[in-house]
Structure 1
Amino acid sequence: MNLWETMTGSDLTREWKAFEARAGALPADHRAAWEQIKGHLYPYSDFTGRNLMPILDGALGLLEETAADGQSIDDVLSDDIACFCAALAGGEGARSHRDRWREQLNRNVARKLARLGG
């Protein structure tokens, strides 16, 4: 990966297209789980999503292996995909971009109040 790919995100676009091609080969119930996994993992990403690519690759690999073994998606992920995604992203309480924004906002407000008070 070179600087230009990092700046434009073209490397991520290629990787994302490869993920979607792999997911297209899954059975319907596994594809539906993939769509839900993507939706539940998005809040844990940074602005580029670069930090999620290895996690998504692992999740897709799990879906591919279980589909190849003939396991149902309920046997693998149960019915709580949101909980599965929270565990993938670092467990319950994992920091999301909203948490980072909230912390930054709180720091900025505290700094402004300190200037007004002092």
Structure 2
Amino acid sequence: MSDIDLDAMDLKDLKKLRKAVDRAIQDYQERKQAQARNAAEAAAREFGFSLEELVASKGTKKGRPTSPAKYRNPDDPAQTWSGRGRQPQWMREALENGADREDFLIERFDGGHAAG
């Protein structure tokens, strides 16, 4: 690579150089991405698949559906908790201040029977 004296260049030439470097970086990344895609497609073909088949077949996340909210913060109804996972800060603080967890139950959870 040739040495470029950046200090000797004026602003117009520096901007022109920066634009050329940015374009070269973009072209390089696109070439590398195409090489990676071609290698992935070749590997998929070795197993009798297309790359699109492999990517599309696992495109949706499977698993347990999210649990419905069981508890609600009365000070901020937008804050809810399913009762699973990490206890939210608002619930932890309320319990530390003497509240009972059942105080925050959303009415449809009254021992398994729908409120009505």
Greater share of helix: 1
**TM-score of the two chains, using structure 2 as the length reference:** 0.28
Rg larger in structure: 2
